[in-house]
């Protein structure tokens, strides 16, 4: 019997498929087969086969068997027109999730077995498998991915309306937060290869780690090399919908102009603003040792906008707050999908995504970079403010503000 690993797929023989699920004990688990169209969603209640509705599509999809050993029978040649995929799902009743249950299997008669691992899982609803047509051949894929929010999240994903009554069970929030996964927060300098003996000179090796600053992991410190950091680049980029898609481009003025800037405080207490607004582009080799390169007004340049910090002058810098603001266009941060990356020579790239949406404020304080005993300590902020002035107040900068504009 072939075993299909998670992610793996296999061809199915024939159009009559019998798929059994040997469920673990210890929780009530509901299994469902959903019939999906090219939208990846169901069209209505008839596209769901479950205990309350054990036969759909004129019997082409049917459920039988007991609660512990449900079995689906599919006649793939008689599926309704337009059905492109069947997904087999399982949801845990109550507040439990799959992480508390024993591993189990999905078994295709005269076909592969899918061992479903449960260890470390936080999902209360799982897509166990999908059956799909590819190049004229029906195949099955071991998916085993799902939703911590249980049935409600699963149903929404596939376009199923469920009543509040059905949603009561593993509603969002009932599931415990996912356990931290080992290795999900890489140390800035450690790499897998570093452990294997014969450590080469650190200064002449390549660092393959990268760092995502998130709500959960807010800070990182860059390690110093030779007392100097070199040229530190800060890039703001965004994946604005291109004009040709006719989305943001409609109406001509829909494009968003995101501007990158920085507040800089030197170790002697002097403070500087660096931004395109007011033509304050800064200077790399003299104070404030921070320079803004150009100004990308549309986001179409793939490189985005760059700030450069003179890392060789790091001892003269106390702190830098990196921010961006929407100079022109609506404050729709989700459409903009901006992200900022910090590049320092020989250091892992540090990325901060502006992914806390919903704010209509025009100003986003992205990160603060502090001189911490000579180290470069980066802290993710991603805080939204009405304007420069409010951000200034909140972070104790004390600038005087006048209105400005760009040419």
Partner 1 sequence: MAVSLSKGGNVSLSKEAPGLSKVCVGLGWDPRVTDGAEFDLDASVFICGDNDKVRSDADFVFYNNMTGANGAVAHQGDNRTGEGEGDDEQIVVDLGKLPADVQKLVFAVTIHEASSRGQNFGQVSNAFMRVVNAGGDKEIARYDLSEDYSVETAMVFGEVYRHGGEWKFKAVGQGFSGGLGPLASNHGVNIG
Shortest Å, Cβ 65 to partner 1: 26
The only residue of 64, 110, 184, 267 in contact with partner 1, by rule CB under 8 A: 184
CB of 213 to partner 1, least distance (A): 12
Give yes or no for a contact between 24 and 102, defined as CB atoms under 8 angstroms apart. Answer: yes
In this chain, which stretch among 41-49, 183-191, 308-316, 389-397 interacts with partner 1, using CB under 8 A?
A: 183-191
| DSSP state for residue 400 in the 8-state scheme | -
Q: How far is the CB of 271 from partner 1 (least distance, A)?
A: 32
Determine, following the binding rule CB under 8 A, whether residue 145 of this chain makes contact with partner 1. Answer: yes
Site string for partner 1, 218-237 (x = CB under 8 A): -------------------x
CA atoms within 13 A on the CB side of 296: 19
Nearest to 350 by CA among 186, 240, 227: 186
| DSSP characters over 290-346 | EEEE---SSS-STT-EEEEEEGGGGGGEEEEEEEEEEEES---HHHH-EEEEEE-TT
Which residue's CB is nearer to partner 1, number 5 or number 68?
5
DSSP 81: T
Least Å distance, CB 203 to partner 1, is 8
Residue 364 Cβ vs partner 1, minimum distance, rounded to whole Å: 18
Are the C-beta atoms of residues 102 and 153 closer than 8 Å to each other? no
Residue 137 interacts with partner 1 (CB under 8 A): yes or no: no
Is 149 near partner 1 (CB under 8 A)? yes
**Is 374 one of the binding residues for partner 1 (CB under 8 A)?**
no
> Residue 163, interface with partner 1 (CB under 8 A)?
no
Report the nearest approach of partner 1 to the CB of residue 160 (Å). Answer: 15
Q: Does residue 208 interact with partner 1 by CB under 8 A?
A: yes
For residue 203, give the nearest of 187, 188, 221, 225 by alpha carbon: 225
DSSP state of 3: B
Smallest distance, Å, CB 50 to partner 1? 20
Is 146 a binding residue for partner 1 by CB under 8 A? The answer is: yes
Q: Is 205 in the site for partner 1 (CB under 8 A)?
A: yes
Name the segment binding partner 1 (CB under 8 A); options: 137-145, 262-270, 272-280, 372-380.
137-145
SS (H, E, C) 94-149: CCCCHHHCCCEEEEECCCCEEEECCCCCCCCEEEEEEEEEECCEEEEEEEEEEECC
Q: Which is nearer to partner 1, 74 or 147 (CB)?
A: 147
Work out which of 22, 133, 193, 394 binds partner 1, going by CB under 8 A: 193
Neighbours of 93 (CB within 10 A): 14
Instruction: Tell me the C-alpha to C-alpha distance, in Å, between residue 138 and each of 70, 84, 279, 347.
Output: 22, 10, 61, 47
Q: Which stretch binds partner 1 (CB under 8 A): 7-15, 30-38, 274-282, 315-323?
A: 7-15
271-274 sheet: strands from edge to edge: 219-222, 375-385, 363-372, 317-328, 257-266, 271-274
Judged by CB under 8 A, the number of residues near partner 1 is: 50
311 makes contact with partner 1 (CB under 8 A): no
Give Cβ neighbours of residue 344 (< 8 Å, ≥ 6 apart). Answer: 222, 229, 230, 232, 233, 311, 376
204 touches partner 1 (CB under 8 A): yes
Q: Is 253 in the site for partner 1 (CB under 8 A)?
A: no
Binding site for partner 1 (CB under 8 A): 5-9, 122-123, 127, 134, 141-143, 145-149, 153, 157, 178, 181-184, 186, 191-194, 199-202, 204-208, 210, 212, 237, 239, 302, 337, 341, 343, 347-349, 351
């Amino acid at each position: 019997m072939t075993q299909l690993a998670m992610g793996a797929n296999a061809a199915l023989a024939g159009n009559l498929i019998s798929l059994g699920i040997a469920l673990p004990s210890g929780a009530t688990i509901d299994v469902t087969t959903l019939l999906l169209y090219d939208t990846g969603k169901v069209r209505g209640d008839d596209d769901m086969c479950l205990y309350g509705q054990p036969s759909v599509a004129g019997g082409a999809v049917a459920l039988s068997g007991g609660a512990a050993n449900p079995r689906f029978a599919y006649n793939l040649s008689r599926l309704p027109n337009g059905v492109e995929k069947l997904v087999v799902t399982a949801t845990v009743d109550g507040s439990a999730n799959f992480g508390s249950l024993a591993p189990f299997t999905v078994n295709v008669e005269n076909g592969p077995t899918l061992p479903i691992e449960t260890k470390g899982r936080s999902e209360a609803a799982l897509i166990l498998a999908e059956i799909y047509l590819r190049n004229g051949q029906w195949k099955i894929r071991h998916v085993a991915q799902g939703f911590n929010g249980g049935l409600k999240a699963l149903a929404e994903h596939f376009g199923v309306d469920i009543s509040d009554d059905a949603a009561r069970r593993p509603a969002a929030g009932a599931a415990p937060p996912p356990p931290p996964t080992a290795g999900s927060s890489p140390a800035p300098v450690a790499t897998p290869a570093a452990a294997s003996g014969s450590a080469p000179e650190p200064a002449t090796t390549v660092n393959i780690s990268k760092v995502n600053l998130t709500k959960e992991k807010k800070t990182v410190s860059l390690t110093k090399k030779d007392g100097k950091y070199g040229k530190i680049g800060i890039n703001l980029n965004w994946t604005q919908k291109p004009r040709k898609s006719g989305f943001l481009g409609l109406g001509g003025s829909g494009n968003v102009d995101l501007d990158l800037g920085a507040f800089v405080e030197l170790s002697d207490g002097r403070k500087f603003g660096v931004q395109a607004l007011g033509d304050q582009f800064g200077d790399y080799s003299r104070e404030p040792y921070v320079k803004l390169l150009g100004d990308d007004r549309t986001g179409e340049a793939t490189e985005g906008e760059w700030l450069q910090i003179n890392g060789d002058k790091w001892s003269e810098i106390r702190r830098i707050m990196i921010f961006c603001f929407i100079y022109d266009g609506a404050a729709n941060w989700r459409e903009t999908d901006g992200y900022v990356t910090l590049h320092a020579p020989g250091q892992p790239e540090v990325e901060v995504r502006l992914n806390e949406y919903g704010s209509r404020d025009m100003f986003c304080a992205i990160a603060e970079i502090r001189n911490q005993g000579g180290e470069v300590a980066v802290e993710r902020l991603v805080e939204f403010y009405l304007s420069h002035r409010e951000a200034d107040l909140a972070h104790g900068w004390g600038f005087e503000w006048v209105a400005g504009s760009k040419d």
